[in-house]
Structure 1
Amino acid sequence: MLLCFLHLAARRNEIFYLRWEDVDFKHQQIRLYTRKRRDGSLEYDWIPMTRRLSAELDNHLSSSGSGLSEWVFPNPDTGIPYIARQKWMPRLCRLANVKPFGLHAIRHLTASILVKNDVSLIDIQTILRHKKLTTTERYIHRLASVRSALEVLE
């Protein structure tokens, strides 16, 4: 699940409500749905999968028993998507001995990695699925200001 967040720069509900029918192994892409639009309408985009993500999802499908659930990451207790996993990330952070962070921070991490590797602003906008370039610029500006602030520590 974490790899999906990182490799797709996905929002929480985009992964929680991901169905196997949204995973296209043949064309190496995933359909992500969002309601993050002014009118709240449901909209989707096809996002390319990395080879690593495709392999991990294929392994997940095989190990979870294909066809047992329409959901890629169902709650094992209910068989339906998670609504929230408030204890999951803090527990993982504690086990990894890192400061706790939320799932949306992984989306920011993906943007940060893309910026650090000189990916164009337009490509980052496409990956983050922002309708407006100004939204992406806010992400990037915030990352740049944090980076310069941290340089004070060196």
Structure 2
Amino acid sequence: MKGTVKERGNTWSYIVDIGRDPITGKRRQKTKGGFSRKKDAQAALRKIQSELDEDRFVEPSKESFSSYMEFWFTSHYQKRIKETTASSRKYLMDKHLIRENPFANKMLSKITTEDIDAFYNLKLDEEYSTSTIRKLHQLLNQAFGQAVKWKRISFNPVINADPPSVKKEEMKIWSFDEIGSFLNQCKGERHYLTFLLAIYTGMRKGELLGLQWSDIDFGKKIIRIQRSLSHIPNNGYRLSTLKTKKSKRQVPIPDFLVKALKAHRERQETQRKRLGEQYQDQDLVICTETGTFQDPRNVLRVMKRVSEAANVTPIRFHDIRHTHASILISEGVDIVKVQTRLGHSKPSITLEHYAHMMPNQDDEVADIFHNALQNSR
């Protein structure tokens, strides 16, 4: 690239062409002065010319962090993820990275790793969970990484940042007696089948509420999990695709659950005929009395009330899934089969959650090793 060195008063400056503006097509130049010696200005000029020749030159962006984040999210990031994920990430970005961020108005190119670490510490002081901070870390890393690719900055300051490790909450599960007590207390409730399905299949809450009658093969005694109920801010509830390919799966069910489903369908059909045109049939297994999407909060309210009445350990809805998996593993079911049933993307995720619950076979392993050595002699 063309460049020149000029004397200005008692100092030296360089001027170099840095190409044309990709939008306007106009010629662009970079000027830097203040060099006390001519040879220093020449050395700096050669350095930037070398970067330009090797396509390594980056002209630091003067835009603010918040304006860049808005542009990056809208023009790039949200187009590559699910609508439901985009909605939750947009909330995180707006709240934490723009409204409640000390460097929100700082120039993108001036943000340092120290700024990022101070931001994480601020969120810890504000008592946000380590899981939330990790999600913010991922957002920042992707945004700054793209800024490097777009040559707005030369280095991603998030790479060397130190986000806190995720603290896992202690897993709470029900015993066999507690499962029995809860279900006995739940009989007669409108959501009895909801909890029965959760306990006996390990399905996620969204998967249960998005289940349709067309997903159930009564002859083969199989539930095909193909979608989930999700909430989109300002748009309400809607059916969405599942998180991963492995989430789309078939779950075998026992005879008694088949009978419970058929009985539930008969009651639902009676309700549909009674309401006539007022019933909005969406083929949902779990729905409101008028056939519409069931608000998950109502399910949680029923669970809390029934749990208190049954005097069982208070757990989250997702812990019913943990209970299902833990029982299978404690009964010696192969970890890969458990992974498939739960819809985890790989066995390592299942192991990470439930390895401590696998039957202890250390003594047996010790005997196998000893016998192998004895037999080899």
TM-score (ref. length: structure 2): 0.35
Which residue of the other structure, out of 334, 341, 347, is the alignment partner of 1:127?
Answer: 341
Structure 2 counterpart of 1:83: 295
Per-residue deviation at 1:67?
Answer: 9.0
1:50-78 Cα deviation digits (max 9, x unpaired): 112111101111222269341111122x5
Structure 1 counterpart of 2:219: 26
Hey, what's the Cα distance between the residues in 1 that align with 2:270 and 2:328? Answer: 33
Structure 2 counterpart of 1:45: 249
Structure 1 counterpart of 2:210: 17
1:13-35 Cα deviation digits (max 9, x unpaired): 11011111111112211111352
User: What SS does structure 2 have at the residue aligned with 1:47?
Assistant: strand
Count residues in correspondence. 140
Structure 1 counterpart of 2:48: none
Identity rate, percent:
29
Structure 1 counterpart of 2:285: 72
The answer to which structure, 1 or 2, has the higher relative contact order (CA under 8 A, 6+ apart) is: 1
1:81-140 Cα deviation digits (max 9, x unpaired): 223133121111112122322211111001111011111111111111111111100121
User: What SS does structure 2 have at the residue aligned with 1:65?
Assistant: helix
1:93 aligns with 2:302: no
Hey, what's the Cα distance between the residues in 2 that align with 1:142 and 1:134? Answer: 13
Paired letter, 2:294 = Y
Structure 1 counterpart of 2:320: 106
Decide whether the 8 Å contact of 1:89 with 1:100 is kept in 2.
Answer: no
Per-residue deviation at 1:79?
Answer: 2.4
Decide whether the 8 Å contact of 1:111 with 1:139 is kept in 2.
Answer: no
Per-residue deviation at 1:143?
Answer: 4.1
Paired letter, 2:208 = I
Taking only aligned residues, the RMSD between alpha carbons, in angstroms, comes to 2.2
Paired letter, 2:349 = T
Hey, what's the Cα distance between the residues in 1 that align with 2:337 and 2:313? Answer: 30
Hey, what's the Cα distance between the residues in 2 that align with 1:24 and 1:67? Answer: 23
Paired letter, 1:58 = K
1:2 aligns with 2:195: yes
Note the residue ranges of structure 1 that are not aligned, 5 or more in a row: 145-154
Note the residue ranges of structure 2 that are not aligned, 5 or more in a row: 1-193, 228-241, 273-280, 359-377
Decide whether the 8 Å contact of 1:11 with 1:104 is kept in 2.
Answer: yes
